[in-house]
Chain A
Amino acid sequence: MRSVSIIGAGCTRFGERWDDSLRDLVVETGIMSIEDANVGGEEIDALYVGNMSGGRFVEQEHIGALIADCAGLTRLHVPSTRVEAACASGGLALRQAVLAVASGYSDIVIAAGVEKMTDVSGGTAADALAAAADREWECFFGATFPALYAMIARLHMHQYGTSHEQLAEVAVKNHHNGNMNPISQYHMEISVDKVLKSPLVADPLRVLDCSPITDGAAAVVLAPTEIAKKYTDTPIEVLATAQASDTLALHDRRDITTLDASVYAAKRAFKQAKLSPEDIDLAEVHDAFTIGEIAAIEDIGFFKKGQGGKAAEEGITHIGAKLPINTSGGLKACGHPVGATGIKQAYEIVLQLRGEAGKRQVEGAKIGLTHNVGGCGGTALVHIMSRR
């Protein structure tokens, strides 16, 4: 296997982009990433795009061909593949692209992610997202996505004494980080009190425990590390790409408060990179809900099971502290265009490792990790990246 590096990255502004279509978002991010990488169209060997539900959100499938078309690559007939793993579609697209380059089959490959979610009502969006859960044995009885994470939160609180204040600390931190990120959906500080007083969605989770509905797209350009310096002075090497799966239904899990897919993906990634959790300088983790970040930092191995809430409360995960988590603002504040999220996480780590993260910069960051979850843990992807 060849070593693979990211030579370019781009990400659109996240938010309610009512004036832009899915196509506009793809073109915007595609141009940003290609210009950043200094590659020409004829050099591109393949495209992979993560998209969860174009069919439900904009009544458009066949997103692979669509993005090649929009990117102006039709005359070159570049192979383009859409991949889907619910909210982990972006992370999965990145993994497919890394494997394509690592195998030697392709040289320059683009991994993109896109979701246009605000063309439908909130209820329709909630139903489309619920399709990531077990439609026959969860949603049929009234389960929603927040409800499944709420049941994880309830049991986590019961078993480990995690408090709602600790959950709220995750949202407060991520809004603070997102406020410093120009692409964020939200630029506003919130308080623990504000989270605890926001309307209930699925008890114990409230509106400000949940990531929003978002439009956005992101892309990264990959190349074999041996030629990466031809394109950029600051290639970011992908040290590990790992994936794991688990039962679709939450009720069938070995332990409801642990996402075993995250545990296994992280273990595999650390083994591949020959690193351990202590070596990581910063991480972007899947905080679709505040409890998601707490479970993630435990499941990846940064903190012991049950200690995630305490870590959030003590501020260990803030920028400037021991282990900054979700410097981009996470899914919570930066926004969560589901298919794009996994690529946006990589984009943030690339900026951080290049030293280009502005006010959010983690000083001396050398090794970063991304963690992207599909559903409430049916799929998980972990990538580890390093500055060359």
Chain B
Amino acid sequence: MSAAPRFWRHIPQRYNLEGTHCPNCDEYYFPPRSICPNCRRAAQMEDYKFKGTGTVVTYTVIYNSTEDFKRQTPYTLAIIKLDEGPRLTGQVIVDPEEVKIGMRVKPVFRILGKEGDRGIIYYGTKFVPAEGSV
């Protein structure tokens, strides 16, 4: 797991799903990029807070994890396409039997992990099923 400063500098993105938007080509980026890969220096990126709703593109249920996540197994991990376009990887809190490709999800604020019993607790975004799931 990461050291504290490495986590703190990503708090805006991990707590609030903040990314960037290129006004030139109208593309959204998560995590934030300072230079648009389409327009490069021709555009000035602006900050953007994602709605957080999206769709499950693909998923897995993890039974065998790295040391840090052993206590959470089995857990569902998915690639989620946010409604604005970008994709990200995150956990979905759902019965493993119910998760499906195309399922609609929304973000929730949760503990992601902790460094032992007395170490730093990491918070961030997980996802839960939303209305309109197929």
User: Are B60 and A142 in touch, CB under 8 angstroms?
Assistant: no
Contacts of B87 on A, CB cut-off 8 Å? 251-252
Contacts of A205 on B, CB cut-off 8 Å? 60
**Interface status of A316 (Cβ within 8 A of chain B):** no
Given the contacts A147-B77, A154-B101, A137 and B60 also touching, CB distance less than 8 Å: no
Interface residues in A239-254 by Cβ distance below 8 A to B read 249-252
User: Are A127 and B67 in touch, CB under 8 angstroms?
Assistant: yes
User: Are A251 and B77 in touch, CB under 8 angstroms?
Assistant: no
Interface residues in B66-81 by Cβ distance below 8 A to A read 66-70, 72, 75, 77-79
User: Are A256 and B79 in touch, CB under 8 angstroms?
Assistant: yes
The docked-state distance in angstroms from the alpha carbon of A201 to that of B31 is 28
User: Are B101 and A141 in touch, CB under 8 angstroms?
Assistant: no
Contacts of A155 on B, CB cut-off 8 Å? 57-58, 101
**Interface status of A151 (Cβ within 8 A of chain B):** yes
Contacts of B128 on A, CB cut-off 8 Å? none
The docked-state distance in angstroms from the alpha carbon of A162 to that of B27 is 33
From the candidates B2, B60, B66, B89, name the one contacting A249 in the complex (CB within 8 A): B89
Contacts of B96 on A, CB cut-off 8 Å? 203
Number of chain A residues whose Cβ lies closer than 8 Å to a Cβ of chain B: 36
**Interface status of A388 (Cβ within 8 A of chain B):** no
User: Are B58 and A151 in touch, CB under 8 angstroms?
Assistant: yes
Looking across the interface, which residue of chain A has its beta carbon closest to that of B63? A200
**Interface status of A150 (Cβ within 8 A of chain B):** yes
User: Are A202 and B64 in touch, CB under 8 angstroms?
Assistant: yes
The docked-state distance in angstroms from the alpha carbon of A127 to that of B1 is 9
Contacts of A139 on B, CB cut-off 8 Å? 66
User: Are B63 and A199 in touch, CB under 8 angstroms?
Assistant: yes
Number of chain B residues whose Cβ lies closer than 8 Å to a Cβ of chain A: 35
From the candidates A123, A134, A136, A202, name the one contacting B62 in the complex (CB within 8 A): A202
Encoded as 1 (CB less than 8 Å from any B CB) or 0, chain A from 291 to 314 comes to 000000000000000000000000
Contacts of B51 on A, CB cut-off 8 Å? none
**Interface status of A146 (Cβ within 8 A of chain B):** yes
Q: Report the minimum CB–CB distance from B55 to chain A (whole Å).
A: 13
The docked-state distance in angstroms from the alpha carbon of A136 to that of B91 is 14
User: Are B61 and A151 in touch, CB under 8 angstroms?
Assistant: no
**Interface status of B124 (Cβ within 8 A of chain A):** yes
**Interface status of B44 (Cβ within 8 A of chain A):** no
**Interface status of B48 (Cβ within 8 A of chain A):** no
Contacts of B38 on A, CB cut-off 8 Å? none
Encoded as 1 (CB less than 8 Å from any A CB) or 0, chain B from 80 to 106 comes to 000000011111000010000100000
User: Are B10 and A136 in touch, CB under 8 angstroms?
Assistant: yes
Interface residues in A130-146 by Cβ distance below 8 A to B read 130, 134-144, 146
Most A CB contacts (10 A, CB to CB) among B60, B69, B78 go to B60
**Interface status of A124 (Cβ within 8 A of chain B):** yes
Looking across the interface, which residue of chain B has its beta carbon closest to that of A205? B60
User: Are A144 and B61 in touch, CB under 8 angstroms?
Assistant: no
Contacts of B65 on A, CB cut-off 8 Å? 126, 142, 144
6 A-B contact pairs sorted by A residue (CB < 8 Å):
A139-B66, A141-B124, A154-B59, A154-B101, A200-B64, A202-B60
Residues of B near any A CB (own CB < 8 A): 1-2, 6, 10, 31, 57-70, 72, 75, 77-79, 87-91, 96, 101, 112-113, 122, 124
Report, nearest first, the 5 A-B pairs whose CB atoms are least far apart: A150-B60, A155-B58, A251-B87, A123-B67, A203-B61
